[in-house]
């Protein structure tokens, strides 16, 4: 890696994907983001309020993660995939039941009434 | 690639082969901290990282390379293991201690061969192209799939375990499948002739052709099909493709080329420590030959990997002393089991046999000369006997006085060997070699639930076949230690559903947050407690489930008021009370289905299910249905589903009461009622019982004096006849009793407990239920009726409610920032309708295989 790359990488670029009002409290919605389906989970009042993970369920192959139920298992915020109910950690995308499955995760933030995802 | 080994600190350990056994070896090494001592390199000839070959046939029924993979994509890199995929090792230079690939050379300090095996294809004239397919790798399967595209019939040569697997794969590709076997029976290694015959009968009943004692002499061009297989003796069989599955051969070419000792029947010769004649080279799995035998199953390969990993790290390690080749699997949906000395080859052994030719069931028990111990067994048609027989065989448990009882039909399989009868040395999980003693040790070291025991011991995390036994042992051991089994709903509520129901009702709690704050832990809940509490709140107060405070509680089906199907689309079921529908409404359903291209099927509950709607289409579909006078059918909820009815006295010459009118009255009353599990009703107009009311939660059968009420029946997986509860009731009394039974069930049942299971667990049984409901022994009757009336009065169609509220409709968007539909939802057309395209079909065909 050369020096100029390092400089670019350290400066995260953000892209707005939807309005904060599109989010549903304690639940998920899905956005189309550069050819990918990203599920956004909004937990107002929690330590971290916004999570962005891949919408495709690796077990079923269907795009359904955004319609899963959010929960807290042993201190980790998770979503239960709606078809086969396996849990994914929203923070890391790790599957609690099967290390062979994982969801992609995106850094996400709320900024000026909009939801932004990191492009970096 | 560097040519020299890396410095003095870490020795370089190279594993050649990234199949199941090679991968397991890496896992074992990593787990034991090998990366601190070794620089690990893994070479795989295939481009795909290690995948599950045992479940290969699932590749045709929904699994992809990624779901079959044995680890996460970054597993190797995360642990600092160098993985070289698609890079075949061409040679091993033992003198310079280097291996050679197309990319260059790499030095090694120690080397493990885990190159597996390859399919044996007998030399047959004319066998090439689609007449010479094999079944071993994902690439082989791609080739079979391509060949099947324009084929009608496929033949598998080889009637062993893998051959029948391959036949299953051909069948799932829609081909007419045939199996050609050289031996006079199927699975000659595992089964005796009677077992083979029973298996043949079962498989033929599935439409698979079985041709025994046939040797293929040549393959020529066919007339009806592409090829013609000519058997010795003059017979022939035509086919469009041929898959060879006539056994495996050890992939020992590398070992041969570099001069390692090779066994007479192939395979790199190893000792009990997996060492070859070169002290720096080891071999494990199917490429190795121990004591003249190559082991073509995963479990022995795993055992070698485990022992070797321990030995390389200087830990105490077991010697490899051969393997138990006992097998339990489901081939083409048929149970087949083989334990130990299945053929009764031990001198002096004697057999007990059970043969049921009517159902093609066969069981054989082989006992030793003394008649005290099990040596082996063969099972075809019913594997429920397997676990117990295996425990007898493996642990030398003394046989009961009448050993035949172990294989005679019992209704519930062989008399289960209680967990307490097993010695500590009994193997619970043979994939990961976990004994009962190890499970006990895990419990003693603090594993408080089953998940912790699985995590700690890895038991039941291989093929999963021992899961039920593990649970049994776990619960037995807990009880033995005086621990009460924790019945908490989940980690957030230390209460049962019944207790939570009481709290909600007594304290008038209306939201999940309120209940969690007063009686639970944390701020979020989970996918167990949220739907359970949402259901209790709905049963008590019947608020619309789309209220903002309730939405996040619902499981996805309740949230979107439709039933999610395997590809993420939904099915829609409008209510058709009593199964009665006007032609005009029937036309509307047809029009809506046509407009949105929905797959249409009649349900068992006398209504119509419309499949394939995407999220954003649901409000549009419901807008049209509601405009035509339909209401939601609650097919998605733990709630009243349908009241099935026969046509009754209005049309039927036998009918004695108007069953349709009563069905309408009941469905009208109880629609929308939320309960611990779904509720099904039926009303029959006479004793002929055409509505099948005795298989329902609530069944009503007309008599010439009124109605007989039956309760707590069930169809489905665990059928149970409903019990006669009260006779010759008038309309009003009937409804009153149903009110009381249902409310009492809602109050006292466990989460997701059907009425049948609830009734069986009810202390005092049916008599007690009669006392409470009919005699009002608890003084609850008025309260139960009032609660039901409250729920009935608050009914409103959830879909009508949602359509009137733009805020609620916001959720019904596939993407909140884009109008497009989900581009990954694909359909194919079949019999004039569309259905999900194949890659999403997920029908596990293989319960387990080892």
Q: B483 CB contacts (<8 Å, ≥6 apart)? A: none
Q: Which residue of A has its CA nearest to B513?
A: A26
Cβ B170 vs Cβ B332: under 8 Å:
no
In tens, the pLDDT along A48-90 reads 899 999 999 998 889 999 999 999 888 889 999 998 888 999 9
**Residue B128 and residue B171 in one domain:** yes
Q: What is the pLDDT of residue B524?
A: 83
Under an 8 A CB cutoff, do B527 and A83 touch? no
Q: What is the pLDDT of residue B161?
A: 84
CA distance B472 to B322: 29
Closest CA to B113 of B240, B216, B253: B253
Question: What ipTM did this prediction achieve?
Answer: 0.90
Cβ B676 vs Cβ B701: under 8 Å:
no
Tell me how many domains chain B contains. 5
Q: What is the pLDDT of residue A13?
A: 87
Q: What is the pLDDT of residue B841?
A: 39
Q: Which of A16, A36, A64, A91 to mutate to test the interface with B (most CBs of B within 10 A)?
A: A64
Topology of domain A36-118, CATH: Rieske Iron-sulfur Protein (2.102.10)
Q: What is the pLDDT of residue B417?
A: 60
Q: What is the pLDDT of residue B464?
A: 60
Look up the domain containing B437 and give its range: 418-482
Under an 8 A CB cutoff, do A64 and B824 touch? no
**Residue B110 and residue B145 in one domain:** no
CA distance B80 to B33: 12
Under an 8 A CB cutoff, do B818 and A29 touch? no
A38 contacts chain B (CB < 8 A): no
Closest CA to B561 of B681, B716, B697, B672: B672
Q: What is the pLDDT of residue B486?
A: 66
Of B70, B73, B817, the CB nearest to A32: B817
**Residue B639 and residue B764 in one domain:** yes
**Residue B18 and residue B48 in one domain:** yes
Task: Report yes or no on B525 lying in a domain.
Answer: yes
A24 contacts chain B (CB < 8 A): yes
Residues of chain B with pLDDT under 70: 1-8, 410-419, 461-465, 468, 484-487, 544-552, 554, 838-850
Of A62, A71, A82, the CB nearest to B567: A62
Under an 8 A CB cutoff, do A100 and B817 touch? no
**Residue B529 and residue B580 in one domain:** no
Task: Report yes or no on B753 lying in a domain.
Answer: yes
Q: How far is B530 from chain A (nearest CA, A)?
A: 8
Instruction: Note the pTM of the prediction, 2 decimals.
Output: 0.53
- Residue that has been written with the tokens 């993420």 in this structure: B568
Of A30, A45, A61, the CB nearest to B816: A30
Among residues B467, B482, B497, the one where a domain terminates is: B482
Q: What is the pLDDT of residue B544?
A: 64
Cβ B769 vs Cβ B761: under 8 Å:
no
**Residue B107 and residue B182 in one domain:** no
Residue B250 CB neighbours (<10 A): 26
Tokens of B122: 């007998």
A34 contacts chain B (CB < 8 A): no
Tell me the DSSP string of B376-413: EEEEES-GGGHHHHHHHHHHTPPPPS-GGGGTS--SSS
Which chain B residues contact residue A86 at CB under 8 A?
Answer: none
**Residue B444 and residue B586 in one domain:** no
**Residue B768 and residue B719 in one domain:** yes
Q: What is the pLDDT of residue B551?
A: 65
Task: Report yes or no on B15 lying in a domain.
Answer: yes
Question: How far is CA B597 from its chain centroid?
Answer: 31
B622 contacts chain A (CB < 8 A): no
**Residue B27 and residue B125 in one domain:** no
Q: What is the pLDDT of residue B655?
A: 92
A103 contacts chain B (CB < 8 A): no
Q: What is the pLDDT of residue A8?
A: 45
Q: What is the pLDDT of residue B430?
A: 74
Q: What region, left, alpha or beta, does residue B350 occupy, with left being phi > 0 and alpha being psi -120 to 50 degrees?
A: beta
Which chain A residues contact residue B837 at CB under 8 A?
Answer: none
Task: Report yes or no on B799 lying in a domain.
Answer: no
Q: What is the pLDDT of residue B4?
A: 41
**Residue B76 and residue B93 in one domain:** yes
CATH number of residue B473's parent domain: 1.10.10.1100
The residues pairing with A53 across neighbouring beta strands, listed in sequence order, are A39, A105
Q: Which residues in chain B (41-100) have CB-CB distances under 8 A to chain A?
A: 62, 64, 66-67, 69-73, 75
**Residue B511 and residue B652 in one domain:** no
**Residue B602 and residue B520 in one domain:** no
Tell me the DSSP string of B694-712: GGSSEEEEEETTEEEEEES
- Residue that has been written with the tokens 């997996």 in this structure: B274
| Alpha helix positions (H), B654-776 | 659-670, 731-748, 755-761, 765-773
Q: What is the pLDDT of residue B29?
A: 95
Which chain A residues contact residue B567 at CB under 8 A?
Answer: 60-62
């Amino acid at each position: 890696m050369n020096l100029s790359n390092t400089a670019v990488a350290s400066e995260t670029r953000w892209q707005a994907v939807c309005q904060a009002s599109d989010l549903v409290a304690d639940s998920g919605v899905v956005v189309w983001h550069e050819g990918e389906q990203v599920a956004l989970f909004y937990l107002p009042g929690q330590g971290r309020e916004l999570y962005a993970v891949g919408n495709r369920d690796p077990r079923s192959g269907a795009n359904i993660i955004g319609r899963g139920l959010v929960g807290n298992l042993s201190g980790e915020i998770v979503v239960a995939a709606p078809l086969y109910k396996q849990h994914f950690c929203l923070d890391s995308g790790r599957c609690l039941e099967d290390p062979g499955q994982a969801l992609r995760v995106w850094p996400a933030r709320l900024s000026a009434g909009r939801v932004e995802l990191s492009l970096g | 690639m560097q040519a020299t080994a890396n410095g003095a600190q870490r020795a370089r350990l190279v594993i050649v082969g990234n199949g199941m056994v090679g991968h397991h070896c890496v896992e074992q090494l990593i787990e034991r901290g090998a990366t601190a001592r070794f620089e690990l390199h893994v070479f795989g000839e295939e481009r795909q990282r290690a995948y599950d070959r045992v479940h290969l046939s699932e590749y045709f029924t929904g699994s992809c390379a990624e779901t079959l993979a044995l680890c996460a994509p970054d597993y190797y890199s995360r642990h600092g293991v160098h993985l070289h995929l698609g890079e075949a090792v061409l040679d091993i230079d033992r003198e310079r201690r280097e291996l050679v690939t197309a990319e260059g050379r790499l030095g090694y300090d120690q080397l493990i061969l885990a190159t597996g095996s390859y399919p044996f294809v007998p030399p047959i004239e004319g066998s090439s192209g689609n007449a010479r397919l094999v079944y071993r790798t994902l690439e082989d399967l791609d080739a079979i799939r391509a060949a099947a595209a324009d084929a009608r019939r496929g033949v598998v040569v080889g009637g062993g375990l893998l051959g029948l697997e391959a036949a299953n794969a051909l069948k799932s590709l829609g081909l007419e499948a045939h199996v050609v076997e050289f031996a006079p029976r199927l699975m000659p290694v595992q089964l005796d002739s009677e077992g083979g015959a029973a298996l043949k009968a079962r498989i033929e009943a599935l439409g698979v052709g079985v041709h025994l004692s046939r040797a293929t002499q040549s393959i020529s061009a066919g007339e009806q099909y592409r090829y013609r297989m000519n058997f010795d003796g003059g017979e022939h069989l035509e086919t469009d493709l041929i898959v060879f599955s006539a056994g495996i051969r050890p992939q020992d070419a590398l070992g041969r080329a570099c001069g390692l000792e090779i066994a007479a029947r192939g395979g790199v010769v190893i000792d009990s420590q997996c060492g070859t004649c070169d002290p720096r080279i080891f071999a494990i799995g199917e490429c190795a030959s121990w004591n003249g035998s190559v082991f073509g199953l995963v479990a022995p390969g795993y055992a070698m990997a485990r022992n070797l990993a321990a030995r390389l790290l200087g830990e105490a390690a077991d010697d490899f002393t051969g393997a138990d080749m006992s097998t339990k699997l489901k081939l083409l949906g048929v149970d087949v089991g083989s334990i130990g000395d299945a053929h009764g080859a031990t001198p002096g052994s004697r057999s007990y046999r059970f043969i049921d030719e009517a159902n093609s069931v066969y069981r054989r028990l082989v006992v030793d000369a003394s008649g005290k111990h099990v040596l082996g067994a063969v099972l075809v048609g019913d594997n429920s006997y397997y676990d117990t027989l295996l425990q007898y065989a493996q642990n030398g448990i003394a046989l009961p006085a009448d050993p035949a009882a172990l294989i005679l039909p019992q209704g519930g399989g062989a008399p289960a060997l209680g967990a307490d009868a097993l010695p500590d040395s009994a193997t619970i999980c043979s994939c990961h070699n976990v004994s009962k003693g190890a499970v006990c040790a895990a419990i003693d070291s603090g594993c408080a639930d089953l998940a912790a025991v699985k995590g700690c011991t890895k038991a039941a995390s291989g093929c999963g076949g021992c899961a039920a036994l593990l649970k049994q042992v776990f619960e037995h051991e807990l009880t033995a230690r005086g621990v009460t089994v924790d019945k908490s709903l989940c980690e957030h509520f230390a209460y049962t559903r019944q207790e939570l129901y009481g709290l909600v009702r007594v304290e008038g709690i209306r939201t999940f947050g309120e209940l969690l704050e007063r009686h639970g832990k944390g701020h979020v809940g989970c996918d167990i407690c949220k739907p359970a509490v949402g259901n209790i709140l709905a049963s008590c107060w019947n608020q619309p489930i789309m209220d903002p405070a309730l939405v996040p509680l619902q499981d996805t089906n309740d949230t979107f008021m439709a039933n999610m199907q395997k590809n993420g689309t939904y099915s829609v079921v409008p209510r058709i009370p009593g199964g009665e529908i006007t032609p005009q409404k029937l036309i509307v359903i047809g029009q809506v289905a046509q407009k949105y291209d929905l797959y249409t099927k009649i349900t068992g509950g006398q209504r119509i299910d419309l499949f394939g709607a995407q999220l954003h289409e649901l409000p549009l579909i419901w807008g049209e249905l509601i405009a035509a006078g339909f209401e939601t059918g609650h097919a998605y909820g733990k709630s009243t589903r349908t009241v099935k009815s026969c046509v009754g006295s209005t049309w039927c010459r036998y009918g004695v009461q108007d069953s349709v009118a009563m069905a309408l009255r009941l469905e009208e009353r109880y629609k929308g009622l939320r309960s611990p599990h779904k509720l099904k009703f039926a009303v029959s107009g006479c004793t002929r019982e055409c509505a099948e009311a005795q298989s329902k939660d609530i069944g009503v059968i007309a008599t010439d004096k009124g109605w007989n009420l039956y309760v707590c029946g069930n169809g489905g997986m665990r059928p149970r006849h409903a019990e006669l509860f009260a006779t010759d009731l008038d309309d009003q009394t009937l409804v009153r009793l149903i009110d009381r039974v249902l409310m009492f069930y809602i109050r006292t049942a466990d989460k997701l407990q059907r009425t049948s299971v609830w009734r069986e667990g009810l202390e005092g049984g049916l008599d007690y239920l009669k006392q409470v409901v009919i005699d009002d022994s608890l003084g609850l009757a008025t309260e139960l009726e009032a609660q039901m009336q409250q729920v009935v009065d608050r009914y409103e169609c959830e879909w009508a409610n949602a359509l009137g509220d733009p805020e609620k409709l916001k959720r019904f968007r596939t993407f909140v920032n884009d109008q497009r539909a989900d581009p990954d939802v694909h359909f194919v057309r079949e019999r004039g309708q569309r259905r999900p395209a194949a890659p999403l079909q997920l029908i596990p065909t293989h319960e387990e295989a080892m």
